[in-house]
Amino acid sequence: MRFLTAGESHGPALYAIIDGLPAGLDLTAADIDPWLQKRQGGYGRGRRMQIEADRVQITSGVRAGKTTGAPVTLVIENRDHRNWKDIMDPAPGNLPRRKALTAPRPGHADLVGGFKYGHRDLRDVLERASARETASRVAVGAVAARLLRALGVESASYVVGLGGVWAKKPFQWERRAEVEASPLRTPDPEAEAEMIAAIDRAKAEGDTLGGIVEVRFKGLVPGLGSYVHPDRKLDGRIAQAVMSVPAMKGVEIGPAFENAMRPGSEVHDAIAWQEGRGYYRNTNRAGGLEAGMTNGEELVIRAAMKPIATLMRPLPTVDITDHSPKDAARERSDTTAVPAASIIVEAVVAIVLAQAYLEKFGGDTLEEIVERLEAYRRRWREY
């Protein structure tokens, strides 16, 4: 399965094309729209989330509610485009246009992206580098998650730390609905109140906050990924996907940074076997991955998101037209987008896992894939 996204932050729409999905997968907009809505939610979001109400249109590859095996095209309209038509018009015209950006914002792609591609109006960089692009990948991730559910895999995402406040209550699958109802997607109500207070303080000061998100996948079969070549190692592929999300600056699988400071006897997961159950572990310090492959345990991934770089109290910068000192431009911004980031990270990891399943059990139809998967599970139980 491969995909490609396109579109700008204030262009007419965002687009995604997914190639390689099997025929026969139940898929409608109702499988995707809730993911898009959750990506826009969370305490601390800005006005752009009030303007857009993301909904997907499936314009190819699905008929009568099932995938056909042809490429699936997803379209997400940018409602704010009506206010930007002349600015974003692709037709030839004089530059710079209205809302030209020449004062690059620290922490963004503006300066280096403009230099790399030869742009003097840095809006040509901003529009594609914007985190708005992640709506496309969340839509693709929602499709991937739909495939994973059909193969017996469940996922969850939540916030474990924000603005210096840590959730002290651990995540529990049976309380997933409470996380979904939380405005900060955290499993700890007491920490949530402290996080909200921290967000309010940062907003009043024109500042922004980052945090730590965690995603989990259960029901994965062992042996996804490989150890035989570096580019097939699943941990490397997951890390790349997570780090490709804007503002992500760190990723770990399981309690990796804690493990690094412990002796090996307190890090590795002993192997056990039981009649009717097969192989299992009593601990999961590896986070579900060993030597680039899933080991059958729950996959646990954490990602660190830096504070959003667009500040309402702008940082100093330099205008590229005359090198004069300026304050950085202030596009609409959030105080924090950590809750939304949890959804985005869950989506991009779902894409990698769906690709791994199709590589391992691939077929032209979902029925073929399920048959191969069941045979593989039987073989694992008998190994």
Q: For residue 377, give every residue at least 6 positions away whose Cβ sits within 8 Å of its Cβ, in sequence order, or none.
A: 221
Distance of CA 318 to the CA centre of its chain: 32
To which residue do tokens 């592929």 refer? 237
Query: Which stretches in the chain have pLDDT values below 70?
Result: 47-52, 331-332
Whether omega before 96 lies within 30 degrees of 0, making that bond cis, reads: yes
> What is d(CA 152, CA 149) in angstroms, rounded to the nearest whole number?
5
The pLDDT assigned to 47 comes to: 62
What's the CATH code of the domain at 69? 3.60.150.10
The pLDDT assigned to 332 comes to: 65
Alpha helices per DSSP H over the chain? 33-40, 48-51, 85-88, 110-117, 123-129, 134-150, 176-181, 189-204, 234-243, 256-259, 338-361, 366-382
Closest by CA to 155, choosing from 355, 353, 20, 18, is 353
Backbone angles phi, psi at 64, to 5 degrees: 55, 35
The pLDDT assigned to 121 comes to: 94
The DSSP annotation for 138-193 comes to HHHHHHHHHHHHHTT-EEEEEEEEETTEE--SPP-GGGHHHHHHSTT--S-HHHHH
- The pTM is what? 0.96
Q: Return the number of other C-beta atoms located less than 10 Å from residue 145's C-beta.
A: 25
Give the tokens for residue 324: 């004069």
**What is the number of structural domains in the chain?**
1
Residue numbers of the domain that contains 94 = 2-382
